């Protein structure tokens, strides 16, 4: 399937160029197949701008992964008596020369749905047309033609996963992956290669790109199609998971890089999303005796598809200002606090261990991403999601423009999701996931000597314990940079006022998630870490949000979220509920709307965003949408839309 605007000529192409960008693979590469079809020669090119390598916001791990992908691609092409041509320079500057020098008559490449990519490709198409070169573009980085989804939705991208599901259910299934390029398919098509090819067109080293590799640890995630295809087979060997339709239980080992992880390979296109989709489908049908798999089986794939669709026609998708789907929140500008977060110096071991893993390895578990994103934005530091997105763009191997920006907007409650009164606890969430603290000891060896009791909050350890651990807090490891309970309470009030202000412009239906708070403050909104829930249980000790906020107590008007595991009535029930939450590491945000809220209203309320597009079913609906594995995972529950279904039922590609 080719997007509108692709140009085709009737004359036979003799000399072809296939332009690699993403899609760094030979399997399921329809544009590459078009390049060799009927051609006398084919040259596969990849553009690498050395200046960009030294100045862009991309870290060494991401560059290493990319270079390994290119080396693997070149090795695979060699087996077909071909080579990869790594071109130094900008495509718009170099292509006109290549068209003439190589006498090119056909150019093929994979469709890029991102706004910048579409603008770049339009310019290259124009250059090709002027040179008499046929251009063939094929969609293969996404499962669907995103323009068709938007067209089906009346010209606007769907902003809830439920709507997205409805739309794709009306489309034909994704196209089957095409056959891998082989000697047979190459036929008589050859690649002219000169003796100095390695010097002129070889894959550069990190050192050549200006990176200092001294002390750089070996890659935890080796790049390339070969590794990706090995991993997908390991991934699909977990037949029990597919048969039972559940993910592995969340535990300390889940936080470590897995040999079956796939997300960086999907991001760089070393692995075809369509191949993954249909392999999952086939395996499910074998295990389930030909029954049709639910859409949620393809969790991570549809997650990325959803964000790609939301971003494709929005060049401001990665910005707050001028972004029609993003709430304009008056975040603080605090470079010092941002640096402490990015450099793992917050004084919260759980947060610092995650950020250390990210910087060292280029990957963190999706729930760890939730924790550090919440901490930076609406949870503790009140710093813009744009700043966190930039750090992830630098360090995260699978950082993808659309998915990265969309995830940060979602987790900061700037779009897609408005349950702002749920907050990850930077102590309790990690302790619940890894009670012994092995993850912290692995990435923060300075804290290795602390007993499990204090490893998540070492500042509470007696001086004798700190001395025995050979780590004095404030000397060898920083004190907490913020008081979490106070900061989260203030930030929830900030968010509450922002969303209440928006609701005045957009209608009350926008924010069912904003509880009306009155009374004497005995109740209040609950701010807690959903990660504190028991794994795979629905017991009375599992606080699970369900239904709309309901009044409890003795008629004082105090508001509590209704926990469906054990209905509480009366003042005693309220007290027991608070006590249980304290035991699980949650904290309560008391209702101070009569004082703090009125003060914050004038300080933090935002003006109406004229282009704001928020779905009208914001907040807690009456339906409990949680499965046992999600209860153990610690994910927030964005009831304002069904996007979270996709996250919790992910194919665990990460």
Helical H runs in 131-205? Answer: 146-152, 161-169, 183-186, 197-201
Task: Give the pair of three-digit tokens for residue 460.
Answer: 């509470």
CB 637 within 8 A of CB 545: yes
CA dist., res. 479 & res. 311, Å (int): 40
45 CB burial (10 A radius; 0-12, 13-18, 19+): buried
- Structural tokens at position 242: 């597919």
Phi, psi of 120 (to 5 degrees): -60, -45
**Cα separation of 327 and 450, whole Å?**
42
According to DSSP, the residues that pair with 47 across neighbouring strands are 87
Contacts of 136 (CB under 8 A, 6+ apart): 2, 6, 8, 31, 34, 35, 106, 107, 108
Max Cα distance, the chain (Å): 87
Q: Are 647 and 161 in contact (CB under 8 A)?
A: no
CA dist 287 and 280 (Å) reads 11
Assess contact for 501 and 606: CB atoms under 8 A: yes
- Report residue 232 CA to chain centroid gap: 20
- H/E stretch holding 43 reads strand 41-48
Binding-site residue set for FAD: 300-307, 398-400
Cite the annotated binding site by residue number: 300-307, 398-400
Kind and range of the H or E run holding 373: helix 366-374
Query: Which is nearest to 653 in space by CA: 227, 311, 236?
Result: 236
CA 75/CA 222 separation, integer angstroms = 15
CA distance 10 to 25: 28
How far apart, in whole angstroms, are the C-alpha atoms of residue 504 and residue 507? 6
Is-contact 625 642, C-beta < 8 A? Answer: yes
Taking alpha carbons only, the member of 412, 280, 427 closest to residue 346 is 427
């Amino acid at each position: 399937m080719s997007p509108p605007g692709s140009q085709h000529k009737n004359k036979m192409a003799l000399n072809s160029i296939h332009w690699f960008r993403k899609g760094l693979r030979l399997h399921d590469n329809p544009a590459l197949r078009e390049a060799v079809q009927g051609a006398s020669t084919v040259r596969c090119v990849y553009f690498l701008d050395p200046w960009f390598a030294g100045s862009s916001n991309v870290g060494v791990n991401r560059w290493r992964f990319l270079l390994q992908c290119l080396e693997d691609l070149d090795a695979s092409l060699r087996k077909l008596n071909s080579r990869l041509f790594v071109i130094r320079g900008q495509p718009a500057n170099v292509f006109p020369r290549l068209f003439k020098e190589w006498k090119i008559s056909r150019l093929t490449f994979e469709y890029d749905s991102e706004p910048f990519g579409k603008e770049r490709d339009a310019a290259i198409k124009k250059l090709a047309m002027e040179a008499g070169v046929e251009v063939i573009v094929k969609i293969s980085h996404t499962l669907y033609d995103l323009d068709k989804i938007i067209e089906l939705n009346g010209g606007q991208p769907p902003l809830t996963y439920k709507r997205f599901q409805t739309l794709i259910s009306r489309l034909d299934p994704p196209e089957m992956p095409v056959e891998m390029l082989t000697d047979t398919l190459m036929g008589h098509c050859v690649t002219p290669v000169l003796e100095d090819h390695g010097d002129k067109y070889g894959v550069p080293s990190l050192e050549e790109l200006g990176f200092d590799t001294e002390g750089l640890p070996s890659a935890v995630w080796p790049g390339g199609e070969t590794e990706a295809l090995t991993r997908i087979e390991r991934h699909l060997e977990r037949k029990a998971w597919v048969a039972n339709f559940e993910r592995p239980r969340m535990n300390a080992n889940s936080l470590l890089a897995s040999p079956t992880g796939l997300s960086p390979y999907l991001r760089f296109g070393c692995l075809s999303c369509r191949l993954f989709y249909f392999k999952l489908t086939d395996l499910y049908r074998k295990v389930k005796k030909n029954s049709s798999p639910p859409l949620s089986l393809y969790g991570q794939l549809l997650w990325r598809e959803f964000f790609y669709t939301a971003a494709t026609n929005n060049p401001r998708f990665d910005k707050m200002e001028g972004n029609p789907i993003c709430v304009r929140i008056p975040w603080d500008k605090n470079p010092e606090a941002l640096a402490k977060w990015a450099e793992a110096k917050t004084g919260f071991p759980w947060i610092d261990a995650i950020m250390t893993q990210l910087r060292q390895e280029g990957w963190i578990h999706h729930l760890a991403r939730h924790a550090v994103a919440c901490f930076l934005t609406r949870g503790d530091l009140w710093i813009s999601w744009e700043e966190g997105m930039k750090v992830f763009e630098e360090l995260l191997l699978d950082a993808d423009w659309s998915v990265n920006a969309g995830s940060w907007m979602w987790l900061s409650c700037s779009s897609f999701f408005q349950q702002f009164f749920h907050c990850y606890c930077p102590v309790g969430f990690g302790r619940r996931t890894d009670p012994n603290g092995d993850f912290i000891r692995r990435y923060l060896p300075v804290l290795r000597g602390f007993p499990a009791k204090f490893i998540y909050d070492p500042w509470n350890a007696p001086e004798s314990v700190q001395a025995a651990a050979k780590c004095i807090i404030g000397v060898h490891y920083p004190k907490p940079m913020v008081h979490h309970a106070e900061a989260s309470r203030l930030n929830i009030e900030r968010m509450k006022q922002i969303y209440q202000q928006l609701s005045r412009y957009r209608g009350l239906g926008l924010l069912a998630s904003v509880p009306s708070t009155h009374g004497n403050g005995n109740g209040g909104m609950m701010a807690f870490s959903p990660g504190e829930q028991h794994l795979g249980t629905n017991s009375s000790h599992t606080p699970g949000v369900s239904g709309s906020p309901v009044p409890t107590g003795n008629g004082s008007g105090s508001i509590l979220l209704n926990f469906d595991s054990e209905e509480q009535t009366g003042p005693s029930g309220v007290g027991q509920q608070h006590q249980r939450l304290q035991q699980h590491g949650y904290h309560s945000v008391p209702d101070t709307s009569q004082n703090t809220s009125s003060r914050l209203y004038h300080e933090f309320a935002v003006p109406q965003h004229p282009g704001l597009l928020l779905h009208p079913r914001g907040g807690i609906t009456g339906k409990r949408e949680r499965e046992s594995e999600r209860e153990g995972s610690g994910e927030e529950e964005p009831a304002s839309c069904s996007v979270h279904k996709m996250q919790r039922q992910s194919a665990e590609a990460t």
